[in-house]
Chain A
Amino acid sequence: MVAENREPRRILVVEDEEDVACLLRARLEANGFEVFVEGEGRKAVQLAQAVRPHLVILDLMLPDTDGYAVSENLRRQYHSCMVPILMLTARTQSTEKLYGFGAGADAYMTKPYDAAELLGTIRQLLKDAGID
């Protein structure tokens, strides 16, 4: 509300399911975010260095590597070591969730997700990171 003309917040969506990625893009763009989608884990880490997202939404089951490894790699890279990571996955067990936090996630949500909850979590993560 303060700055209407500020640059939009960039979100990198790492998701190999095209339908899920497409809906996430629509939802996030409708809420004023700029969205980048990548389906492969390794490319996603590279893309994160290029676009320097304000937040990463990360699926756990990816074709080349799993989301835990992507999260750990993001944490090792200069431009993404502090970026808020939201894991959004179909894995619902509490051990998997704990493992996710161990790999560097800031939040963990399970599919099917609730859109309002997702947006609320994104805003909270951005706020916590001092971005909004």
Chain B
Amino acid sequence: MPASTENGARLPARSLLLGAALVLLVALIGAIDYWTGNEIALTIVYLIPIALGAWFVGPRTGNLLALLSAGAWLLADVYGGRAYDSPIIPPWNAVVSLAFFLIASQALSARKRTERRLLELMDIKSELTAMVSHELRTPLTCIKEGIDIVADGTSGPLTAGQRMHLRTAKRNVDRLARLLDQVLTFQKLEARHVELRIEVADLNQLVQQAAEGFALPAQRKGVRVVLNLGHGLPLVACDPDKISQVLSNLLSNALKFTEQGQICVRSERRPNGVRVLVDDQGPGIAGADLERVFQGFTQLASESGKPAEGTGLGLAIAQQIVELHGGRIGVESQPGCGSTFHFTLPVHEQAPAARFVAALHQRRI
């Protein structure tokens, strides 16, 4: 709502100024036309203010300018058109040019209207998502806190069975809250309502931090996280928070599907940037499904055995973030041989090699 009122308030002043300038332009062209009597050559020139008028300030000004153009043409024909020997030609010329200009103005303003409508619809969509998320959050808050307050014994002692059921309820409420967050994140990324805070970063460092975060959950599952990072990789320009999220999504995906063995995270130099690869020892992905893994909500729709925990948005979010950085994300996999997810970020042009920065860090320590 605020965006549209702002538009409405800004438009009249701007349209008035533009309209006046364009009318002046039409009058100027009309005068030149009148003095030279050479209107055919000026058809294109007349079209410019009409097109601009229709484009910037809508059909009404566009039509007014079309009328003015045709009028100027008529005047030029009557007073300056020395070449005509029949009196019918000037008005006929004026009618044809009016029709011509009106059509041009209508067509352009219709396109402009469609564009505006599209922008409005996009605004409505993001407003709707924000509203829905708020409307969902409040009841979710009550359910979560209602369960918590009983489950932690604040409102009286519980039996073991009651506690177990409440724990199940709590786990699922938390899952619902996470899903809500992910849907919102995904929607914002899809609508490109995300600003990247670009810094020059060392991908290896981000990988190490992300891997440290997964050491404990992996250990609990009996899976090892192994790092195999390339030396002297160039720095990349990226939003470290967002890339950390990509790494975390890829690692959590790898951990989810790896029942035993190890997850290996590698980094390497590529001709077009720096690539990070995450190898898992999961069941792998069949060729037909490879194209679908980065689509949102894919997992929810798949029926490969037991439904895995999660929202199915993690990889879609990772893809959006990497593409927002101008990078590429991909996967290689064969059923039974595990999968390798990888993404490549372009190298920062003026970036010194990472080892210099590492050396600086060491000196500071």
Residues of A at the B interface (CB closer than 8 Å) are 17, 19-20, 23-24, 26-27, 30, 61, 90-92, 110-113, 115
Contacts and interface: CB of A to CB of B under 8 A. Distances in A.
Contacts of B138: 17, 20, 90, 111
Given A27-B149, A115-B149, A115-B152, A61 B134 contact: yes
A91 B134 contact: yes
A33 to B, nearest CB: 13
A92 B155 contact: no
A115 B155 CA distance: 14
Contacts of A27: 145, 149, 154
Nearest to A27: B149
B239 interface: no
A24 B149 CA distance: 10
B142 interface: yes
B133 interface: yes
B334 interface: no
B134 A90 contact: yes
B146 interface: yes
Given A27-B154, A90-B137, A20 B181 contact: no
A50 B152 CA distance: 34
Among B138, B140, B142, max chain A CB count under 10 A is at B138
B132 to A, nearest CB: 11
Among B142, B145, B177, max chain A CB count under 10 A is at B145
A19 B288 CA distance: 48
B141 A26 contact: no
Contacts of A23: 141-142, 145-146, 149
A92 B136 CA distance: 13
A110 B141 CA distance: 10
Looking at chain B's contact residues, is the secondary structure mostly helix, strand, loop, or mixed?
helix
A20 B146 CA distance: 9
Nearest to A26: B149
A46 B295 CA distance: 52
Which 4 residue pairs are nearest across A and B when measured between Cβ atoms?
Answer: A90-B137, A111-B141, A112-B141, A23-B145
B325 interface: no
Given A19-B142, A90-B134, A90-B138, 13 more contacts: A17-B142, A23-B142, A26-B149, A30-B149, A90-B137, A90-B141, A92-B133, A110-B137, A111-B137, A112-B173, A112-B177, A113-B141, A115-B145
Contacts of B140: 111-112
Contact of A92 (B149, B173, B181): B181
A112 B146 contact: no
Nearest to A88: B141
A26 B155 contact: yes
A115 B133 CA distance: 20
B184 interface: yes
A112 B144 contact: yes
A113 B140 CA distance: 10
B259 interface: no
A1 B200 CA distance: 50
Contacts of A90: 133-134, 137-138, 141
Interface string B231-258: 0000000000000000000000000000
A116 to B, nearest CB: 9
B155 to A, nearest CB: 7
Nearest to B184: A92
B268 interface: no
Among A23, A30, A61, max chain B CB count under 10 A is at A23
B148 interface: yes
Contacts of A111: 137-138, 140-141
Contacts of B145: 20, 23-24, 27, 112-113, 115
B261 to A, nearest CB: 34
B131 to A, nearest CB: 10
A17 to B, nearest CB: 5
Contacts of A113: 141, 144-145
A73 B145 CA distance: 29
Contacts of B137: 90, 110-112
Contacts of A20: 138, 141-142, 145
A61 to B, nearest CB: 7
A66 to B, nearest CB: 13
